[in-house]
Amino acid sequence: MNLKKLRDTLYTSLAYLSLLLLIIPLTWIFFECIMKGGYYIVSRPVEFFMDIGRPPGVEGGGIGHAIQGSLYMLGLALLVGVPVGVFAGIYLAERKNSPIAKAARFMSDILVEFPTILVGIVTYIFLVSKVTGILATGPAAFAASFALALIMIPIVARSVETAFLTIPNEIREGAYALGLLDRQTIFRILLPAVRAGVVTAILIGLAKIAGESAPIIVSNGVSNFWFSRWTEPAASMPVLIYVYGLSPFKEWQTQAWAASLLLLLLIMGVGFLARRFTKKLWAGA
């Protein structure tokens, strides 16, 4: 066996080893959630999805309030983060050499790697702190939504930029030759061409923020009740998993495992959809 084949075999083996090291912990976590929480969902499906948490030591209860709160907060985060992220990504791609684009790209790269708990702290200080808050005087659901949007925006922006950069310049030149304005070229020609990539970017951002707990704990706090108003704390699935999982009560721990299984399935589903749209993008569909 010559050196080239030996190197190829080595790299292939390392690739398979890396895949195995990725699959083993994921499979272990998945089956652990099934074994410790799956039976709770199967035995009490209506109560699990429609009821709220019971006091410590009381049997039963569910995570309906956490599902509701997560949907509200994720919905507002998408409402804020998607338009900003998409338009920022378009600007980064179409004006990539401008000083503003370079600065925004640099800041996006920093925010992507930024500890999310610091995003929650900054949001709390500027929006809900009793000293510097401008919209509330305590933990609030809208503050958590804004923190999640801040986490999502750079991810969506960079992904949308990458999608737009795959479009050949000849398409832009052809649109301008026909007399189309920048606005018309972007929204009538370029954006439809990479719609699968844009949807993929949004799904990736959603998958990122769906499991975040640290910024929610800091800016929203902990709640075990149904969502009531944006200026008060709301329950969420990641925070419920954190609180119930650390509690000494068996019933809460079981519900934490069940909620972990549900959240894991949701994130895997979002990831699957993102992969599907990515394949469509590269296939030119």
Q: Is the pTM of this model over 0.75?
A: yes
pLDDT at 273: 79
Based on its alpha-carbon atoms, the radius of gyration of the chain, rounded to whole angstroms, reads: 22
Look at residue 28 and tell me whether its pLDDT is greater than 70: yes
- Do 236 and 134 lie in a common domain? yes
If asked whether residues 27 and 132 sit together in one domain, one would say no
Same structural domain, 128 and 188: yes
Same domain for 9 and 91, yes or no, is no
Higher-scoring residue by pLDDT: 201, 139: 201
9-22 pLDDT per residue, tens: 888 888 888 888 88
Confidence at 26, pLDDT banded by 50, 70, 90:
confident
Direct distance between the N- and C-terminal alpha carbons of the chain, in angstroms, rounded to an integer = 43
Contact 263, 237 (CB under 8 A): yes
Q: Are residues 19 and 93 in the same domain?
A: no
State mean pLDDT over 71-97. 91
Domain that holds residue 9: 3-43
Angle (nearest 5°) at CA 102 between 99 and 103: 85
Same domain, 54 and 120: yes
Identify whether residues 36 and 90 lie together within a single domain. no
* Same structural domain, 11 and 96: no
pLDDT at 271 exceeding the cut of 90: no
Pick 137 or 212 by higher pLDDT: 212
Number of domains in the chain: 2
The predicted structure's pLDDT at residue 179: 80
Question: Cα–Cα distance between 68 and 54 in angstroms, integer?
Answer: 16
57-70: per-residue pLDDT in tens? 777 888 889 999 99
pLDDT at 135 over 80: no
Distance from C-alpha of 242 to C-alpha of 246, rounded to nearest angstrom: 6
CB of 123 within 8 A of CB of 215?
A: yes
140 & 275 share domain: yes
